Amino acid sequence: MTRQIKLGAFLPGGGQHVAAWRHPDSPADGATNFEFHKQLALTAERGLFDAYFLADGLAVAFGGGMEGGNAKVAGFEPVTLFAALAPLTKSISFIATASTTYEEPYNIARKFASLDLISDGRVGWNVVTTATEAAARNFNLDHQHPHAFRYARAREHVEVVKKLWDSFEDDVFIRDKESGVFFDTTKVHYADHEGEHFKVRGPLNVSRSRQGHPVIVQAGQSEDGRALAAATAEVIFTAHQRLDTAQEFYRDIKARAAANGRSPEHVLIMPGVSPFVGRTEAEAREKYDRLTSLILEEDGIALLNGLTGGTLDLNGYDLDGPLPPAPPTEGMKSRQTLIRQIADENNFTIRQLYQWVASARGHYTIVGSAEQVADQLQEWFENEAADGFNILPPWLPTALDDFVDLVIPELQRRGLFRRAYEGTTLRENLGLPFPVNRHAVAHETVQAAE
């Protein structure tokens, strides 16, 4: 079968762009409006997106201090939200973010396995280590753990979760009312994990869904992040402004995956893209300018502060002057580097910088007609920069509608995107392999021989 683009949709109810909620088309209460999230899920499903994707943080997303908060100040926890959306949809999947630093493997394994059963195999876990000081202070710490510690813990955490997901073999349940035998005791397994960070006996008290395991998603850009992603991730969310850096990342990850003994085509690279789509380029540009004009200065400053891990105090600086220097921190290293790189390469003032990152937060922004957007996606897809994209509509619902109504048909015309879901699980739609239970060795041998 021809290789086709995979698509995720980032749809926080408050909108992606810092001023999204001020857009006339957006419900001002979108962030905490469940019915609105339902509408977004149904639109994304109409557009045949692989997954509805949500980022997450374990603290209020203030830019810094209490000021500068926006529509993201409060919202839903992704797993509970997606559990509520799952029965209201049929084919679209859900990728929820959860933290290996502040949640125990048993609890993470359990809630994702439960959501995977409820949705009948339409779930992914976006593994994050949670980089903010604010989150650390919500979990008994004064400061966050060092970057290297978080990534080492993350790696072991994912290992434990995957062991727990294999607690029950797929044919464990006998359920013979006559004999009273409910399950085959030889097909339930302890994890018996003892590592540097965790000691977890198992078994998990949730059985596997039809897709075996939820899909593992990761977004590492740093050295530690790339190593983790290449070792464990099946989908990698990434942020690039230019084809050449996207290609460098793509080739690096595929090579690392191969070095880990993994099949490179089972590690899907999906850069984030923030599209302003019009029927013409001029119309798209108008949409961009309109949303940009809605950014308050303090929100722009808070955004830059937040994106650089809360270390960039811009008070007193001329917004129409250059970005001041700041020391690196233990926080979101790669994101800090990227933001500074955007400023340097474009020779942006502080104001121009926050205007540019306001929608995509460092991801690739495309302003153009459906054909122009499709051209860009196709170029990246066909030149070892992307296996698909995570679409970040700048405001909601209109920018999502624009993508579904204008860009999706164009991609379909070019044979680059599906006209119907290929399968019923996230793995089937993404073309990812079914993870045979590690305890089902005999079974695996039989499958491999077929």
Instruction: Give CA–CA dist 164/189, Å, rounded.
Output: 9
Residue with Cβ nearer a copy of itself (84 or 416): 84
Any idea which residue has 């290996």 for tokens?
100
Residue of the chain from 1, 2, 143, 185 that contacts a copy of itself (CB under 8 A)? 185
Among 75, 214, 272, 362, binds a copy of itself (CB under 8 A): 75
When binding is defined by CB under 8 A, the residue of 59, 326, 342, 436 that contacts a copy of itself is 59
- Out of 2, 177, 316, 449, name the contact with a copy of itself by CB under 8 A: 177
Ramachandran angles phi, psi of 249, nearest 5°: -65, -45
- 97 labelled as ligand-binding? yes
Q: Which is nearer to a copy of itself, 141 or 259 (CB)?
A: 141
Q: Tell me the window of 47-55, 58-66, 354-362, 421-429 that interacts with a copy of itself (CB under 8 A).
A: 58-66
317 among the known binding-site residues?
Answer: no
Indicate whether 143 belongs to the interface with a copy of itself (CB under 8 A). no
Given 115, 127, 228, 391, the residue binding a copy of itself (CB under 8 A): 115
Instruction: Name the minimum Å distance from CB 51 to a copy of itself.
Output: 17
* 301 near a copy of itself (CB under 8 A): no
Question: Using the rule CB under 8 A, is 141 a contact of a copy of itself?
Answer: yes
The answer to whether 447 and 225 have CB atoms below 8 angstroms apart is no
Residues 358-397 that bind a copy of itself (CB under 8 A): none
Q: Does residue 76 touch a copy of itself according to CB under 8 A?
A: yes
Residue 71 vs 268, nearer CB to a copy of itself:
71
Which is closer to a copy of itself, CB of 52 or CB of 249?
52
Residues 187-226 that bind a copy of itself (CB under 8 A): 188, 198-207
Told to check if 58 binds a copy of itself by CB under 8 A, we report yes
Judge contact between 39 and 52, C-beta under 8 A.
Answer: no
Residue 130 interacting with a copy of itself (CB under 8 A): no
Report if residue 74 touches a copy of itself, rule: CB under 8 A.
Answer: yes
Shortest distance, CB of residue 85 to a copy of itself, whole angstroms?
A: 8
Known binding residue 280? Answer is no
- Closest approach, Cβ 122 to a copy of itself, in A, equals 12
What span, in angstroms and rounded, lies between the C-alpha atoms of 37 and 252? 36
316 near a copy of itself (CB under 8 A): no
Is residue 42 a contact point for a copy of itself (CB under 8 A)? no
> Among 9, 11, 12, 22, which residue interacts with a copy of itself (rule: CB under 8 A)?
22
Cα 34 to Cα 39, 76, 77, distances in angstroms:
9, 9, 12
When binding is defined by CB under 8 A, the residue of 106, 151, 276, 403 that contacts a copy of itself is 106
Q: How far is the CB of 151 from a copy of itself (least distance, A)?
A: 19
Q: How far apart are CA 21 and CA 186, in angstroms?
A: 54
Residue 299 annotated as part of some ligand binding site: no
Q: 3-class secondary structure for the chain? A: CCCCCEEEEECCCCCCCCCHHHCCCCCCCHHHCHHHHHHHHHHHHHCCCCEEEECCCCCCCCCCCCCCCCHHHCCCCHHHHHHHHHHHCCCCEEEEEEECCCCCHHHHHHHHHHHHHHCCCCEEEEEECCCCHHHHCCCCCCCCCCHHHHHHHHHHHHHHHHHHHCCECCCCEEEECCCCEEECHHHECCCCEECCCCEECCCCCCCCCCCCCCEEEECCCCHHHHHHHHHHCCEEEECCCCHHHHHHHHHHHHHHHHHCCCCHHHCEEEEEEEEEEECCHHHHHHHHHHHHCCCCHHHHHHHHHHHCCCCCCCCCCCCCCCCCCCCCCCCCHHHHHHHHHHHHHHCCCHHHHHHHHHHHCCCEEEEEEHHHHHHHHHHHHHCCCCCEEEECCCCCCHHHHHHHHHHHHHHHHCCCCCCCCCCCCHHHHHCCCCCCCCCCHHHHHHHHHC
Q: Is 293 in the site for a copy of itself (CB under 8 A)?
A: no
**Part of the chain binding a copy of itself (CB under 8 A), chosen from 109-117, 241-249, 335-343, 424-432:** 109-117
Pick the stretch among 27-35, 251-259, 318-326, 403-411 that binds a copy of itself (CB under 8 A). 27-35
Decide if residue 103 touches a copy of itself (CB under 8 A): yes
**Contact pick of 55, 71, 366, 374 for a copy of itself (by CB under 8 A):** 71
On whether 364 is known to bind a ligand per the annotation, the reply is: no
Cis peptide before 203 (omega within 30 of 0): yes
Our finding on whether 340 is near a copy of itself (CB under 8 A) is no
Interface with a copy of itself, residue 88, by CB under 8 A? yes
Instruction: Tell me the binding residues.
Output: 56, 97, 147, 151, 222
